[in-house]
């Protein structure tokens, strides 16, 4: 009798689990249909934005779809470009500097040309405008992910690569069984902060103004932009609430399960040492009870395993094919190399024609603006390091604490800070300050999370035997930091600082130029100069400001951060 009751209860649990999975898939399908309908709709360059709370669920779906499409493209780009740079020394000499330059270009540097080109290419539908928004979000996500994954490839232990060669792994097997597992933890943490970087400029990418042209798409970012422009406090609060719900739901349903899953790839000599002992959670239990979900998971595992087990047929071992494939790849690489150089040369030529229109007064203003922005960026970076390093180490070494605090941290990191800039600026002015120094905390809201997440990832990846050795040697207090923790997290910290510095320069375009309710507050700075040129549609000033900012970031990366990163990689890696 007891067994029968147990079986009945088990079937009931399986039924509810299956219903939950069906509901989730149905919701995703319904959301996808709504997004597809919006993309195919006739072009509306300046879509009307409704500020009633009832439209926020639909706007949230639109914004989420743009962000996740951008993330998917960012992930593919990251794996391909980082792997290419790691394995091809000649390509690496071009790819890494190009990534440096692209990372340093502010979002307003990409927007004008891209939006105008795509809108003209798709004149009868929203595809062009939607695609430009996705690409803009991608530019806020992808660089951090690419640099972190390339850094992970450099850190793969030599013995792992030797085993891959010993077992004659194909490139796909090496990627799937060695490189991706080793880089998973860092990739997950950096994906979280990259998504946050994409959200940061949401109000700009969904509501972009270039001179007298106004490009808007329905979404939470444009909703908040319109609410701030009208000075509608109630709508701003509704937007903040909707954004909070989206961020917390994404964290609980996506990021935290991925963080838990990634910990099984920890580089550790003790079995199970990386487990945090946390329960799987309500959603995990329901999914585990679903027969449908288990079947889908099993089918995916079998498919992935078949790809990994797949061997070359005997015919592929013949000399002609073995020599043709590298030649083909080399030819494709050469063609892409030439295309990048050609496109780069043409772009530089067009930019030169623009900036030659500026006079001495313009360059003097740019020099003065650059000095003010440089001081704010370094102040924001220093303050971010001072708090993010100890907090990141603390979270990385205590998974149970990380589990409890991650929703709060993810909410703070993912929330589009420019939405609340007017409120923070009002507080700064109320205590007698001004935007000159008040821009520093505004910049920090867009840069500190890169350091926190990279440090937390590096600390959580410290092998348990290293931690045990540090405890046995009696390393506590300052000696524990200088001899154990700082060297252990150094590669992640430097990577975080590089991406944080680029994010800080990019954040100045909204931190030094704040508009709310028809009121504009700005200070002397390169970010304000670029924003002002964009609003006026002054292309020569915009081009000059973007080039100067990109040049400064690249020079600092090349002559400061890269040298520090090389030193950290050589002396502070666990692998030889």
Can you read off the two tokens belonging to residue 327?
A: 């030649």
What are 334-377's pLDDT values in tens digits?
A: 676 677 677 767 777 777 787 888 888 889 999 999 999 999 99
DSSP 281: -
- For 19, residues 6+ apart whose C-beta sits below 8 A from its C-beta are none
Q: Under 8 Å CB-to-CB from 46, ≥6 apart: which residues?
A: 214, 215, 216
- The pLDDT score that the predictor gives to residue 456 is 87
Residue 301: its pLDDT value, please? 61
Helix, strand, coil shares, percent, the chain, to 5: 80, 5, 15
Mean pLDDT of 105-124: 76
Rounded Cα gap, residues 42 and 538, in angstroms: 29
Confidence band, pLDDT 50/70/90 cuts, at residue 387: very high
> How many whole angstroms from its chain centre is CA 345?
28
| Entry field: residues in the chain | 576
* Higher-confidence position of 75 and 293: 75
Question: pLDDT tens digits for 396-429?
Answer: 888 777 777 777 777 777 777 777 787 888 888 7
CA distance 474 to 484: 11
Express as a percent the part of the chain with pLDDT over 70.
Answer: 78
567's tokens: 């030193």
pTM: 0.74
Question: Across the chain, what does the average pLDDT equal?
Answer: 78
Please provide the CATH number assigned to the domain covering 41-267+358-571: 1.10.3720.10
Report the C-alpha gap between 556 and 547 in whole angstroms.
14
Reading the block at residue 86, the tokens are: 């790691």
* Token reading at 555: 């020079």
Bridge-based pairing of strands 213-216 and 207-210 is antiparallel
What is the structure's pLDDT at 283? 55
CB 439 within 8 A of CB 523: yes
pLDDT band at 20; cut points 50, 70, 90: low
Task: Please name which of 504, 501, 508, 510 lies closest in space to residue 420, comparing C-alpha atoms.
Answer: 510
| First-last CA distance in the chain | 62
Instruction: Show Cβ contacts of residue 252 under 8 Å, excluding neighbours closer than 6 positions.
Output: 281, 283, 407
Q: What is the pLDDT of residues 520-570, one digit of tens each?
A: 888 899 999 998 888 887 888 888 888 898 889 888 888 888 888 888 877
Q: Contact 149/78 with Cβ under 8 angstroms?
A: yes
User: b or e along 274-304 (b: 16 or more beta carbons within 10 Å of the residue's beta carbon)?
Assistant: beeeeeeeeeeebbebbebbbeeeeeeeeee
Token code pair at residue 278: 């946390």
pLDDT at 364 (0 to 100): 92
Return the pLDDT at 325: 45
H or E element that contains 520: strand 519-522
């Amino acid at each position: 009798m007891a067994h029968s009751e147990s079986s009945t209860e088990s079937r009931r649990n399986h039924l509810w689990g299956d219903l939950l999975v069906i509901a989730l898939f149905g919701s995703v399908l319904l959301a996808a249909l709504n997004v597809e309908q919006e993309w195919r709709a006739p072009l509306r360059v300046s879509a009307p934005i409704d500020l009633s709370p009832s439209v926020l669920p639909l706007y949230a779906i639109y914004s989420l779809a743009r962000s996740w499409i951008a993330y998917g493209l960012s992930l593919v780009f990251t794996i391909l470009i980082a792997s290419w740079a790691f394995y091809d020394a000649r390509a690496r000499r071009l790819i890494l500097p190009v990534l440096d330059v692209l990372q340093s270009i502010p979002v307003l540097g990409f927007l004008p040309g891209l939006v105008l080109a795509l809108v003209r290419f798709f004149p009868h539908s929203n595809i062009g405008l939607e695609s430009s928004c996705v690409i803009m979000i991608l530019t806020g996500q992808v660089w951090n992910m690419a640099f972190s994954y390339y850094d992970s490839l450099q850190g793969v232990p030599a013995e792992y690569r030797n085993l891959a060669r010993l077992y004659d792994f194909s490139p796909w097997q090496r990627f799937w069984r060695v490189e991706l597992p080793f880089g998973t933890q860092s990739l997950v943490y950096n994906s979280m902060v990259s998504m946050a970087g994409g959200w940061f400029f949401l109000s700009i990418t969904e509501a972009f103004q270039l001179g007298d042209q106004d490009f808007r798409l329905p979404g939470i970012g444009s909703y908040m932009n319109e609410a701030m422009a009208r000075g509608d406090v109630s709508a701003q609060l509704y937007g903040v609430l909707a954004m909070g719900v989206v961020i917390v739901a994404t964290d609980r349903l996506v990021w935290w399960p991925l963080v838990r899953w990634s910990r099984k790839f920890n580089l550790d000599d003790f079995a199970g040492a990386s487990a945090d002992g946390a329960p799987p959670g309500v959603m995990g239990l329901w999914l585990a009870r679903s027969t449908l979900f288990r079947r889908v998971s099993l089918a995916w595992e079998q498919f992935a395993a078949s790809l990994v087990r797949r061997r070359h047929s005997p015919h592929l071992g013949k000399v002609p094919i073995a020599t043709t494939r590298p030649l083909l790849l080399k030819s494709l690489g050469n063609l892409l190399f030439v295309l990048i150089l050609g496109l780069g040369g043409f772009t530089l030529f067009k930019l030169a024609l623009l900036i030659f229109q500026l006079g001495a007064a313009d360059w003097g203003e740019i020099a003065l603006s650059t000095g003010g922005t440089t001081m704010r960026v370094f102040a924001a970076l220093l303050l971010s390091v001072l708090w993010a390093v100890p907090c990141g180490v603390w979270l990385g070494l205590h998974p149970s604490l990380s589990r409890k605090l991650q929703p709060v941290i993810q909410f703070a990191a993912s929330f589009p800070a420019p939405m609340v800039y007017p409120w923070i600026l009002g507080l700064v002015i109320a205590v007698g300050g001004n935007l000159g120094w008040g821009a520093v905390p505004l910049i920090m809201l867009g840069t500190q999370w890169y350091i926190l997440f990279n440090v937390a990832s590096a600390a959580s990846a410290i092998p348990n035997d290293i931690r045990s050795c540090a405890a046995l040697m009696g390393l506590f207090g300052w000696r524990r930091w200088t001899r154990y923790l700082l060297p252990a997290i150094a590669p992640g910290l430097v990577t975080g600082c590089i991406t944080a510095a680029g994010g800080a320069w990019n954040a100045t375009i909204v931190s030094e130029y704040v508009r709310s309710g028809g009121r504009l507050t700005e200070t002397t700075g390169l970010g304000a100069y670029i924003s002002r040129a964009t609003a006026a549609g002054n292309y020569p000033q915009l081009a000059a400001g973007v080039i100067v900012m990109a040049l400064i970031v690249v020079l600092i990366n090349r002559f400061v951060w890269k040298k520090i990163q090389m030193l950290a990689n050589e002396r502070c890696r666990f692998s030889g």
